[in-house]
Amino acid sequence: MNKIKEILRANDLRPTKQRVLIGDYLFDGIDKHVTAESLFKKLSNEKRGVSLATVYNTLHEFCKKELLNKITIDTETNALDIHVSEEELESRRKQWSKPEPNYKTGALAKYATLVGSAANGAITSANP
C-alpha cells in the first residue's frame, strides 16, 4: 500500500483510505477495464466500506491526473472514444512494440502464422 500512497502523493492526491483501497486494486500491475459500478461491487463484496459516490469521484480524479484512461462506448452509434490526447496516443504508438507470443508450437502457433488481420476479416491463408 505504500507504493499506492507514493503514486497518489506524486500526483498531488491526498492518500485517503478510500483512494488507497481503490488504487490498490487498480494499480496492481494487471491491466483491467472497470466501470464505477463494477469496481463498487468488487469492493462491496470484499466489505471495504467505500460508497459508489466515492468510487465515481476517485475514478474522476485519477482520470484528471492521467493515472487512468477513460473510454466511452456508445452502442447506439457503434462509437468507441478514448479520452486521451493525440500527443499521448502518438507517444504510445512510438513506444509500442509487438510482443513475443507465449506460444511457439502447437495449434495456436500454427493459427497465428496462418491468420490475417482482424481488420481484413481474419482470413486464414495457406501462404502466410
Is there a domain that residue 102 lies in?
no
Is there a domain that residue 88 lies in?
no
3-state secondary structure at position 73: strand
Is there a domain that residue 115 lies in?
no
Is there a domain that residue 36 lies in?
yes
Is there a domain that residue 94 lies in?
no
Q: What cell was used for 29?
A: 500491475
How would you class 23 by CB atoms within 10 Å of its CB: exposed for 0-12, middle for 13-18, buried for 19 or more? buried
CB atoms within 10 A of CB 113: 11
Q: What pTM, to 2 d.p., does this model score?
A: 0.69
Question: Which range marks the domain in which residue 53 is found?
Answer: 2-69
The number of domains in the chain is 1
Q: What is the pLDDT of residues 25-81, one digit of tens each?
A: 999 988 899 999 999 999 988 877 899 999 999 999 999 999 999 999 999 999 999
